[in-house]
Amino acid sequence: EWSNAMKAWVVLERAYGFSNPNGAKSAYPAEGCPAIVRDWFKNRKMVCLVMVKDYGGVAEFGEQWWTWWSTICPAWWEHNEMGRIVACGAGEGNWDVFEWPGQSGLLSVLVCLRWWFLHANLMLNMKDRSWH
């Protein structure tokens, strides 16, 4: 899955000529974003510096991510009763508000997802070892 996501991201970035058409400092709104996003910008977008940092519990991080994700996605996209985006939900509208290629755009979302995945797996591995 991750490999496919990275391939799709590269295709998208290639379509934009690997540039930041909205400007180098343009990004999704920071309101409600997980701390890793702020660190991503503060540390000059160096993955190695943010992947190893502790951003709290996996469940807490997930709540922060869902809040931010629901904020940055187009308002017309279907939301559930908790205000979260519904995967494969209904809705039609303009995707321009979501269009943020470059290091400050979709890549910041992918960095969050990667951290979440790695730390969730780390927690599962630690839990498995505690049984032995």
**pLDDT averaged over every residue in the chain:** 82
Asked if residue 40 lies in contact with residue 50, where contact means CB atoms within 8 angstroms, the answer is yes
CB 105 within 8 A of CB 98: no
What does the alpha-carbon distance between residue 15 and residue 101 come to, in Å, rounded to a whole number?
10
- pLDDT digit string (tens) for 47-103? 777 777 788 888 999 999 999 998 888 889 998 998 888 888 888 888 887 778 887
What does the domain layout of the chain look like in residue ranges? 2-130
* Other Cβ atoms within 10 Å of 88 Cβ, number: 5
> Mapping DSSP to helix (H, G, I), strand (E, B) and coil, where does residue 85 land?
strand
CA distance 38 to 45: 10
Average pLDDT over residues 19-28: 73
% of the chain surpassing 90 pLDDT? 11
pLDDT at 10 over 90: yes
Exposed (0-12), middle (13-18) or buried (19+): which is 92, by Cβ within 10 Å? exposed
pTM of the predicted structure, to 2 decimals: 0.78
